[in-house]
Structure 1
C-alpha cells in the first residue's frame, strides 16, 4: 500500500530542487566565464628579488671592475616532466642576461659584451668602413674595453620534489585538502683572473621553488535521490625564472663581499665594511660553514690496527 506524502513535504522538496539547479548552473557559468587575473594588464618591470634589492644598497667601490661574461649556461640537462614538451627545459636559458643585469645593478662592475661579440665586431667593421669612406679619413672607432676578470659558471642543479606533503579533512560532507611540493635550483659563479687564469673565488647559492594547492569540496544529498557535489581549487607555483634570478643575485652579492674580505677589490670608504648589509651576508656565510667532527677514538684505534696489519 502506498503511503501518501504530505502536501507540505512535496512542496518543500520541489521548491528546494527548483532553486538548487539554477543556483548551481549560475555558479558554474560564473566560474567558467571568469577571466584569468593579470592577463589584460599592461606589461611591467620584473619585480626585484630580495638579493637584487641588497645589490642596489651595496656601498660604492674604490674602483669598478671590468667583467666579461661569455656564457652562463644551463648545465643541469633537466627537462620539464610530462605532459610538457620533451624539448622544454626545466630552467631558463637566459641566465647570462640575468647575470649581466645583476652585475650592472650592483654598481661594482662594468659588464662588457662578450656573448654577442661577433655582432659587435661586425658593427665596428661597418663603422670603420663608413669612416674610411668619409672625406677626413679618420675612423674614430675606439678600442674595445678589456676585462680584468671573467665570470664563469651556470645553473648546476635542479632537483624536483625535494619535499612534498599534504593535509586534508572532511566532516558532514564538507572537506578541505592541501598539498605542497618544493623544488630546488643551485647556481655556481666563479671569478677568473684574465692575466693569470687563476680562479679568484667561487660561490654556490641555492634557492627553493615552492608550489602549493588548496582543494575545498562539498558533498551532500539534497533529498533521497539527488546528490549535490561542489569542488574548487587554487594552485600557486613560484616562477622558476625568478628563483634562478634570486640565486644569481645572491651569488653576485656573496662573490663581491668575499672579494672585499680577501682584498681582491676595495671599498671606497673602508668604514662601510661594518655596514649592517655586509655583516648580515658575512653572518649568513658563517652559518653555512660545515664543521667536520673528529672521529671517535675507537675508530681511530681500529684504523691504526688495520694499518699495522697491512
Structure 2
C-alpha cells in the first residue's frame, strides 16, 4: 500500500507543480480594455480629404450572408463563423471617413426604438399639459427625422475556410517540432442605392485573408533505466475574424468613396487632391485603369491600361 500511496502523492505534487508553472509562465496575460479598436485601414480611411458637403446615407442592416457556422471536427457548433455586429462596424467606418466629415449616417437599424421614444416624448408632453391652449403649453414640437438620398446595402457574403493548409516538422533522437498553418478568407460587398429611383449607383467589394498557425515541440527520451522524460510545448496564433471583417468593411467604404469620385457622385473640397488618390486607388485594383482629369481635377474618362489608345487620342493627350 505504501508504494501505491507514494506514487499517487508524487503524481499529485507533479500536477500541482505543472499547473503553478503554467500560471507563472503564461505566455499572454489578460490586459485592460482599450478604446479605438482599429484595423490596418483605419488610418487611411481617416486621412481622406473632406468633401464639398457631407453625404447623407442610411444603413438598415449589413447582414451576415455566409450562412456558415464555426467548424469543428468532433462537435456540432451553432456559433456563427463571422460576427453578427457588422452593421455597427459599417456605421463606425462611415463616421470615421475623413475624420467624420464624409458621411452623415442616419439611424435605421433601431428605427422602431427611435420612433417609440419620440412617441413617448409626445405623449408625455400631452399628459402634463396645463391651460386651455395646449399647443403653447406643450412647447416646441419635435423636428422631423432626416431622410437620406442614398441607401447603403450589402453584407458579409463569404467566409471560406481551409483554402490553404500545410505544415512542416522534424524529429531526431526523440527531440523535434512541427508547425501547421491554415488560411481562410472573408469577403464583404457594399453598394450605394439611390432612394429616388432605386438604381445602384456604385458597387464595391473587399477580401481579407485570415491566417492561423500552430507550433508544437517536444522531447521524448530515456534518461535512465525505466525513466522516461517527456516534455511538450506549443503555441497557436489565430488572427481574429472580427478584425478581418472590420478591415473588409473599411476597405469597402474607402472604395465606395473612390468609386463615387470616379463616377462623379461627389467631389473633394480641394479638387487638386483627387488625381493622386484616384491613381493610387486604381493601381490597387485587379484591372489597372488609366484615368484622364480636367483642370479642376475631376475624372473625364477611364481606359483599361492593357488596351492601347488610338493614335489620334494619344496625340490629343
TM-score, with length taken from structure 1: 0.80
**Distance of 1:46 and 1:185 partners within structure 2:** 23
What does residue 108 of structure 2 align with?
114
What does residue 284 of structure 2 align with?
284
Equivalent residues of 1:182, 1:208 under 8 A apart = yes
Pairwise CA distance, 1:174: 1.7
Q: Which has the larger radius of gyration?
A: 1
Hey, which of these two has a bigger chunk of helix by percent?
1
What does residue 87 of structure 1 align with?
78
**Distance of 1:111 and 1:266 partners within structure 2:** 18
What does residue 229 of structure 1 align with?
230
**Distance of 1:24 and 1:129 partners within structure 2:** 70
Equivalent residues of 1:102, 1:248 under 8 A apart = yes
Q: How does 1:43-58 map to 2 (within 5 A)?
A: 43-45=33-35, 47-58=37-48
Q: Residue 71 in 1 paired to residue 61 in 2?
A: yes
Relative to 1, partners in 2 of residues 1:157 and 1:260: Cα closer, same or farther, differing over 3 Å? Answer: same
Pairwise CA distance, 1:139: 3.9
Pairwise CA distance, 1:33: 2.8
**Distance of 2:78 and 2:200 partners within structure 1:** 34
Q: Residue 244 in 1 paired to residue 224 in 2?
A: no
Equivalent residues of 1:128, 1:139 under 8 A apart = no
Pairwise CA distance, 1:282: 2.3
* More moved, 107-116 vs 29-38: 29-38
Equivalent residues of 2:282, 2:288 under 8 A apart = no
Deviations 1:96-124 (A, max 9, x none): 01000000000311110011101000111
**Distance of 2:288 and 2:177 partners within structure 1:** 38
Hey, which of these two has a bigger chunk of strand by percent?
2
Name the SS of the counterpart of 1:221 in structure 2: strand
Relative to 1, partners in 2 of residues 1:193 and 1:122: Cα closer, same or farther, differing over 3 Å? Answer: same
**Distance of 1:143 and 1:36 partners within structure 2:** 55
Instruction: Flag as ranges the 4+ runs of structure 1 deviating above 4 A.
Output: 23-27, 286-289
Deviations 1:71-91 (A, max 9, x none): 011111101122565321111
Name the SS of the counterpart of 2:43 in structure 1: helix
Equivalent residues of 2:175, 2:219 under 8 A apart = yes
Pairwise CA distance, 1:211: 0.4
RMSD: 2.5
What does residue 313 of structure 2 align with?
none
Unaligned ranges ≥5, structure 1? 1-20, 294-310
